[in-house]
Amino acid sequence: MQEAKSDAKNTMLVIYIHGFLSSGRSPKTDLLKAEFPHFISPSLPLSPRLAIDTIDQLINEFKNFYS
């Protein structure tokens, strides 16, 4: 069972979506980077619409690599 978890960590991309008025650079980010080999933590715009657009773009950009 542990091996399956390890394989999943090596084949999936984790995108950390921080809260509003926060940033992609936090202590949580460091913990997640240490745990997951494929991890990104973008600093998102304050505008909810722009933040959603940014997340959509990231997903579309990386989905071919991790599917």
The pLDDT of residue 1 is 43
The pLDDT of residue 8 is 57
Q: Is 21 left (phi over 0), alpha (psi -120 to 50) or beta?
A: left
Q: What is the mean pLDDT of each run of 10 residues along the chain (67 residues)?
A: 54 83 81 89 91 92 76
C-alpha–C-alpha distance, residues 50 and 13, integer Å? 21
pTM passes above 0.85: no
Cα 25 to chain centroid distance, Å, stands at 12
Torsion angle of alpha carbons 7, 10, 12, 16, nearest 10°? 130
Q: Which residue has the tokens 């940033």?
A: 23
Q: Is the dihedral of CA 25, 31, 32, 37 positive or negative?
A: positive
